[in-house]
Amino acid sequence: METFLQFLFSGLTVGAVYAIVALGFTIIYNASDVINFAQGEFVMLGGMCTVFFSLWGLPLPVAAVAAVIVTSLIGVALNKLAIEPARGANVVTLIIITIGASIFLRGLAQVVFDKQFHRLPSFSGDAPIDVLGATLTPQSLWVMGGAAVIVVVLWYFFTRTTFGKSILATSHNRLAARLVGINVELVLLTSFALSAAIGALAGILVTPITLTSFDAGTMLALKGFAAAILGGMGNPLGAVVGGLLVGIAEAMGAGYLSSEYKDAVAFVIILGVLFVLPSGLFGRRGTERV
Amino acid sequence: MPDDMLPDAVLPDAMLKVEGLTSHYGRIQALKGVDIEVAPGELVALVGGNGAGKTTLLRTLSGVQPASGGRVVFEGQDITQAKPHARVKRGIAQVPEGRQVWGPLSVEDNLRLGAVLRRDREIAQDLERVYAMFPILKERRRQAAGTLSGGQQQMLAMGRALLTKPRLLLLDEPSMGLAPILVEQILTSVADLKRQGVTIFLVEQNAFAALKIADRGYVLETGKVVLSDSGAALLANERVKEAYLGV
């Protein structure tokens, strides 16, 4: 029981990060139909920028905020410089563009920062908390709590604010959005900025646990993608549930089978979903009547 | 009709002036120099068959389809290159072909997003006005728009456009796919809007219904205006009767 609980905690912690990466996929996919494989690089940039900004003398909270801002700007630049010029290109082309952008960002991080692993200090110390015989680190709580806050803020933004709703409207019908005066360029820009910002936040929260390096984003993108596919591409609730499930499956697989297979779990999930349930757990069910 | 037969300004105080407007889809020219004028308070109908360029013309007027030549002048300002949201801000709204409501969003959210550019305090009042015009929308305001019937979606699309507080309302085939009784209801509300002072440019394949309520009408064929006259005169025109009224 204690071991199960222990695996569950570690699964929920990484799962929370996958959920945020999957939400990042979802936001950009809904606004622009692009599956952004540079999503993992946003997470890496969040961690790496915070590490180096604090090495360069900024206090940790300031470094973290600056890292989120820098990553958002990189998200906006990605949209402006790589996605927008290819407007109207087919899906595969756009995916290849984002993969190219991801390789570029990884290379850039390697040049600007370095090739070493880096860590951040835990935000509230390392004294483990005992829960029913299993231990939970304070940083795990930070990751799960942070992810929960991100989910609630996004939910509020998309369902309660006019700007959030206008992003949803654009994703459902772009022509209608333009005809009521929604600035579609601004919507796209915001989606990329938002997606990059939450990715960076997840990266900052998780770096004290997992460490980070210039190529930390690749696996995160693939696992976040598995989570988004499992939940149903385009569905925010699906992204969160999918992220947590992938995280838990991975932790259980590593714990009960072998940690050698840890990374394989996500890929088995992708294959399984595509074979059995191609639209995912919460795949789009049309309510549109023609 | 050759261009030189068109007087420079049919209406000296036109609200909308379209001059020699052209538009292309790739190498295919959909509009071949369209000249149209709409005066404030008028209800002008544009009729024409499938593929005549009616929808392209409206999309070009709203700025969602680029013009390749010619000019669009609205209230004295050249807006040929203006972005769609800038045109909405100036007071041009469009009810697009096929309603295009946001299916998963609620009826009320659809309407409220019509007012997305507005900062004034009359939005709630205008929302009530739309609900008074189409009471069924008030009844279903919390329902997803996609669950409405075709006629109700048409009402919603009109309501949404009205919440932009338009001075010029462009309507693209509002009667398409609706039962005759609903066509009547929709066109009656169009005529009501005109009485409330909204200038209307109505595009219809249902030429008879459109010309009956229009002050003036244009006939568009393969991207060019081939006839223009008062609504009543077009209804009586032999050529129009034969081609569009099925008489």
Residue B12: which pLDDT band, with cuts at 50, 70 and 90? low
pLDDT-based confidence at residue A126 (cuts at 50, 70, 90): confident
pLDDT at B3: 46
pLDDT of residue A261 exceeding 70: yes
B115 and B152 part of one domain: yes
Are residues B142 and B199 part of one domain?
no
> In this predicted structure, what is the pLDDT of residue B10?
54
Identity at A250, one-letter amino acid code:
E
- Taking an 8 Å cut-off on Cβ atoms, the answer to whether B153 and A168 are in contact is no
On whether both B147 and B68 belong to a single domain, the answer is no
* Structure confidence by residue, pLDDT tens digits, A54-109: 999 999 999 999 999 999 999 999 999 999 998 888 889 999 999 999 999 999 99
* Residue A123 in domain: yes
**Which residue range is the domain that position A178 belongs to?**
2-276
A7-64 pLDDT per residue, tens:
999 999 999 999 999 999 999 998 888 899 999 999 999 999 999 999 999 999 999 9
- Domain ends where: B160, B191, B207? B160
Closest CA in chain B for residue A169 = B102
What would the pLDDT profile of B218-232 be if each residue is shown by its tens digit? Answer: 999 999 999 999 999
Within a domain: A78 = yes
Is B10 in the same domain as B81? Answer: yes
Which chain A residues are within 8 Å of B62, Cβ to Cβ? 178-179
In the predicted structure, residue B247 carries a pLDDT above the cut 70: no
Closest partner residue to B84 (CB to CB) among A162, A181, A286 is A181
Under an 8 A CB cutoff, do B105 and A168 touch?
A: yes
**Confidence check: pLDDT of B194 > 60:** yes
Among B89, B96, B160, beta carbon nearest to A175: B96
- What six digits make up the tokens of A40? 């993992």
Whether the pLDDT of residue B31 is over 70: the answer is yes
The DSSP code sequence of chain A is: -HHHHHHHHHHHHHHHHHHHHHHHHHHHHHHHS---TTHHHHHHHHHHHHHHHHHTT--HHHHHHHHHHHHHHHHHHHIIIIIGGGTT--HHHHHHHHHHHHHHHHHHHHHHS-SS-B----TT----EEETTEEE-HHHHHHHHHHHHHHHHHHHHHHHSHHHHHHHHHHH-HHHHHHTT--HHHHHHHHHHHHHHHHHHHHHHHHHHH-B-TTTHHHHHHHHHHHHHHH-TT-HHHHHHHHHHHHHHHHHIIIII-GGGHHHHHHHHHHHHHHH-TT-TT--------
> Does B4 have pLDDT greater than 50?
no
Q: Which residues of B touch A162 (CB under 8 A)?
A: 112-113, 116
Same structural domain, B126 and B188: no
Shared domain for B14 and B70, answered yes or no, is yes
Give the residue from A159, A163, A179 with the most B CB atoms within 10 Å of its CB, the best one to mutate: A179
Could you tell me if B19 and B81 lie in one domain? yes
Q: Are residues B138 and B20 in the same domain?
A: no
- Say if residue B7's pLDDT is above 70: no
Q: Is the pLDDT of residue B181 over 70?
A: yes
Q: Which of A59-73, A270-284, B184-198, B207-221 has the lowest mean pLDDT?
A: A270-284
Summarize pLDDT for A181-209 with one digit per residue, the tens.
999 999 999 999 999 999 999 999 999 99
The answer on B216 and B175 residing in a single domain is yes
Question: Average of pLDDT values for B181-210?
Answer: 92
Taking CA–CA distances from B105, the nearest residue in chain A reads A169
Q: Which residue of B has its CA nearest to A176?
A: B100
- Within this chain, do residues B87 and B203 fall inside the same structural domain, yes or no? yes
Residue A284's pLDDT band (cuts 50, 70, 90): low
Q: Is the pLDDT of residue B191 over 80?
A: yes
Average pLDDT over residues B199-222: 93
Instruction: Give the pLDDT mean for A152-179.
Output: 94
CA pair distance B80, B52, nearest whole angstrom: 21
CATH of the domain at A75: 1.10.3470
Q: Do A180 and B96 touch (CB under 8 A)?
A: no
Specify the number of domains making up chain B. 2
Is there a domain that residue A286 lies in? no
Give the domain-ending residue among B108, B141, B160.
B160
Residues 183-202, chain A, touching B (beta carbon < 8 A): 183
Q: Which of A130-134, A282-286, B193-197 is modeled with the greatest confidence?
A: B193-197
- Within an 8 Å CB–CB cutoff, is residue A286 touching chain B? yes
Task: Specify the number of domains making up chain A.
Answer: 1
Number of alpha carbons in the 13 Å side-chain half-sphere of residue A166: 23
- Which residue, B160, B178, B195, sits at the end of a domain? B160
- Here the CATH number for the domain that contains residue B195 is 3.40.50.300
pLDDT digits (tens, 9 = 90+) for B98-107: 999 999 999 9
- Domain range spanning residue B200? 3-91+166-245
Question: Residue B205: pLDDT above 90?
Answer: no
Is A65 a member of any domain?
yes
Residue B95 banded pLDDT, cuts 50, 70, 90: very high
Is there a single domain that holds both residue B81 and residue B172?
yes
| Model confidence at B123: pLDDT above 60 | yes
Q: Identify from B102, B142, B163 which residue to disrupt to test chain A contact, counting A C-beta atoms within 10 A and taking the largest count.
A: B102
Residue A63's pLDDT is: 97
